[in-house]
Amino acid sequence: MRTEDGRIIHLADYRRTDFVLERVDLTFELDPTETRVEARLIFHRREGADPAAPLVLDGDELTLAGLLFDQVEMEPSRYDATPDSLTIRDLPASEPFEITITTVINPEANTQLMGLYRTNGVYCTQCEAEGFRRITYFPDRPDVLAVYTVNIIADKASCPLLLSNGNFLGGAGYGEGKHFAAWFDPHPKPSYLFALVAGDLGVVEDTFVTMSGREVALRIYVEHGKEPRAAYAMDALKRSMRWDEEAFGCEYDLDIFMVVAVSDFNMGAMENKGLNVFNDKYVLADPETATDQDYANIEAIIAHEYFHNWTGNRVTCRDWFQLCLKEGLTVYRDHEFSADQRSRAVKRIAEVRHLKSEQFPEDAGPLAHPVRPVKYREINNFYTTTVYEKGSEVTRMIATLVGRETFRKGMDLYFERHDGDAATIEDFVKCFEAASGRDLTQFSLWYHQAGTPLVTVSSAYDAGKGVLTLSLEQTIPPTPGQAVKEPMHIPLRFGLLLADGSEAVPSAVEGAEVTGDVLHLTARRQTVTFSGIASRPVVSLNRGFSAPINLHFEQAPADLAHIARNDSDLFARWQALTDLALPNLVAAARNARAGTPVEPDAMLADTLLAIAADETLEPAFRAQALALPSESDIARELASNNDPDAIRAGREAVFAFVAGRDPAVFAALTERHRTEGPFAPDAASAGRRALRNAALAYLAVAEGTPARAAGAFAAADNMTDLSAALGVLAHRFPDAPETAEALEAFRARFADNALVLDKWFSIQATIPGAGALDRVKRLMGSPHFTMANPNRVRALVGTFAFANPTGFNRADGAGYRFLAEQILAIDPKNPQLAARILTAMRSWRALEEVRADHALNALRSISNAGKLSSDVADIVERMLK
Ligand code: ARG
Ligand code: ZN
């Protein structure tokens, strides 16, 4: 484990390497505990570099087993090797030279799943961000690009399959039951995109003909017997390849594209050139075992990793500060892909829900950082929702500012200028300035200033003059290291809704630039007047969530209801419902905390019911509308002194009020939206299931008995309906015999399918209330659970901490103490996993004081524990600052 050395890396210290790496030849002799790696590296000193500078290569827990200079053993006086670096002196001033490094590594013992490791008997690698240095000494940074040849030698019986990046060169026997294979990747790449997989796996094969007529072999490798569950991933891959050609002109560039699904993986997936490695959770699906959400995730992540081939691989990042250059952009591209494949508005609502529940809290707490940070201690901790999701929103705003067509021109220019390069955010932004002629200097603050901007708006209508006045003010809250902020360029899509549902078109606008339906807020305060407005309009602002901001705009409930029922933008309709619901939920939480009765609002309930019953609206949208803001949404709105029990009690009261208002509406929905025929994972069918299951949750509460959910559980013929019914049973009727029976039936039926049992763990981990902790502890003792698999840990411990506000935030602090113990137990084995789960406590300062005090003590117990990984030390220290 790399332990904390407190060293901070600064963007301002960036400089190029002294040596240029020309070629890489790797030979692996695979062995579970003693894999020999020989790396032949050809370098030359960069022109203009210090002729005396040594070559310093990165390592991590390495031991040097051999070192040659131009094929001759190197004199020990010329180098120093430690586990984390190899320094070589007295190197040629300009001519190329060859260094051959031999290391011996132990894949079996590699529990942190970085570098080369074994998962279920399969050798695989994860090198982003700094895993390659755990394989061999290397200039392990993204601006060192080289062409790689990889030779793999392994036991033929246990590893019939030998894979690496690029195109297959050839293979042969290698004596003593071994064989070898050679791969060559003609595209220069940084080490983080290196991959090797060896083992015995099943395969699904297909082909794709690119836009210029080249045939590409497609292969998805999964455990034997699971091949049928890879069909949907293959379908999503082909659709992704086509879409990238059509939407961005990006064509695939090797003879083969491979995806390997593995069961032990720290993240979702990894875009290694030509050889993506996936968490099997994001590959395997069939109707019996996967929910509609699983299908949507697979489609999105297959697309995401494939799209990295151009945004990430062909154009990579100069340094890790530029991570959003590939991640934010690629998330934006996968969002657009899913929007085109499914319902754009529903997709946007889901994105915004996710952004608000994950990124907004990060941006409002101790872990807040800019989309393009300027310093880090542990880069693994910057694979955040800010870099990914806010990074995507920033890219989306560029598209909004310059327009769709110009955005495409800017992307073309980006590929033209930077193909084969390691680029920066500045390089990226310049392409859109060039394509549009717009100055994006102020806009670029979105990359540099952390914190969610708050835009406060008020409106006034002068009927006599026919003038609408909007007063807007932006404030950007202070975040760690950034006390004072400059005003940003905030693009706000808007519409002026009239009483009949049509839209007013102003004859003139003063006080702000308006392009099309976008109002540009650029100053701290702006007063904008719209003339020629014949009657009072309702202002629909930030349509499509054109800017990732908090908007405080006091609008009358009747106006919000008008937007909710009439806006031409479905997203705005959903947003208005949320704005209608939140004050109710906040008031309910306050009342619950004060012990006074909660009085829910009939207007909210009636608007929700009207939308639920509106058969002109797509079911998926109605399902989103029926999902009230979550407990964490309410906590964010309250901002401080949060009491999760009161928040839940208040929300439950509102939910029950809506449920009881007119249960016949929900009953009708469960009847009308049955999906007939064989299961299809398409968006329309998924939407109907979502609507029925939303209605089921309301009905169960209205009826107050588990009977209907138990019936739905028994009748379910797909995992979406089955797990939804189980969720209603467990969360609404945790102590009912029906629930115990259903949980056991589910467990027994899927006992041999770990991914499905993760749902069983998660559903139980999120049963609200103080009893959750004991339940989670008991489940950790289940034979289906293991701390050694990241998916299991995330499904049980992670879900409990992230998604069970009342259970985790128990008033006696036992949830926090439990998490601290788990973090300390996981950290020595898998620091990345430990650090990620610890971020569940990122909003601890917003808790009421008794809980906050317990949380503080738990965090201190981690920070005082002594030997911590750099990953956990970095997180805990930032949280305590
Ligand atoms: N680049 C991968 C993706 O977003 C994620 C890799 C994350 N690796 C890590 N060590 N945090 O597609
Ligand atoms: Zn990515």
Q: Is any ligand 1 atom within 6 A of the Cβ of residue 336? A: no
Task: Determine the atom of ligand 1 nearest the C-alpha atom of 269.
Answer: 12
Q: Is any ligand 1 atom within 6 A of the Cβ of residue 470? A: no
Q: Is any ligand 1 atom within 6 A of the Cβ of residue 383? A: yes
The rounded Cα 433 to chain-centroid distance in angstroms is: 28
Q: Is any ligand 1 atom within 6 A of the Cβ of residue 389? A: no
How high is the pLDDT of residue 2? 65
DSSP 389: I
Residue 501, classed as helix, strand or coil, is coil
Task: Choose one of 113, 125, 127, 128 to mutate for the ligand 1 pocket test, by most ligand atoms within 8 angstroms of C-beta.
Answer: 128
Q: Is any ligand 1 atom within 6 A of the Cβ of residue 378? A: no
Task: Determine the atom of ligand 1 nearest the C-alpha atom of 308.
Answer: 12
Hey, which residues are catalytic here? 305
The answer for residues whose C-beta is within 8 angstroms of residue 20's C-beta and 6 or more apart is: 43, 44, 45, 46
d(CA 390, CA 382): 13
Closest CA to 465 of 500, 527, 507: 507
Token pair 């908090």: residue: 550
Question: Which ligand lies nearest to the CA atom of residue 333 in the structure?
Answer: 2
For the whole model, what pTM was predicted? Answer: 0.98
d(CA 610, CA 612): 5
How high is the pLDDT of residue 1? 61
Residue nearest (by alpha carbon) to ligand 1 atom 2: 270
Residue nearest (by alpha carbon) to ligand 1 atom 3: 270
Closest CA to 298 of 223, 381, 237: 237
Question: Which ligand lies nearest to the CA atom of residue 382 in the structure?
Answer: 1
Indicate the angle between helix axes 231-248 and 404-418, nearest 10 degrees.
100
How high is the pLDDT of residue 866? 85
How high is the pLDDT of residue 3? 66
How high is the pLDDT of residue 39? 99
How high is the pLDDT of residue 538? 98
**DSSP H/E element including 38:** strand 35-45
Residue nearest (by alpha carbon) to ligand 1 atom 8: 128
Task: Choose one of 110, 267, 874 to mutate for the ligand 1 pocket test, by most ligand atoms within 8 angstroms of C-beta.
Answer: 267
Q: Is any ligand 1 atom within 6 A of the Cβ of residue 305? A: yes
Distance 323 CA to ligand 1 centre (A): 10
How high is the pLDDT of residue 6? 77
Task: Determine the atom of ligand 1 nearest the C-alpha atom of 130.
Answer: 10
ipTM of model? 0.98
The mean pLDDT values, 10 residues at a time, for the chain of 881 residues are: 79 98 98 98 98 98 98 98 98 97 98 98 98 98 98 98 98 95 98 99 98 98 98 98 98 98 98 98 98 98 99 98 99 98 97 98 98 97 98 99 98 98 98 98 98 98 98 98 98 97 96 98 98 98 98 96 95 97 96 93 94 96 97 94 97 97 97 89 96 98 98 97 98 98 98 98 98 98 98 98 98 98 98 98 98 98 95 98 94
Q: Using CA of residue 819, residue 821, residue 827, residue 829, what is the dihedral sign?
A: negative
d(CA 397, CA 386): 15
Residue 719: left (phi > 0), alpha (psi -120 to 50), or beta? alpha
How high is the pLDDT of residue 817? 98
The answer for residues whose C-beta is within 8 angstroms of residue 213's C-beta and 6 or more apart is: none
Q: Helix count (H) and strand count (E) of the chain?
A: 30, 33
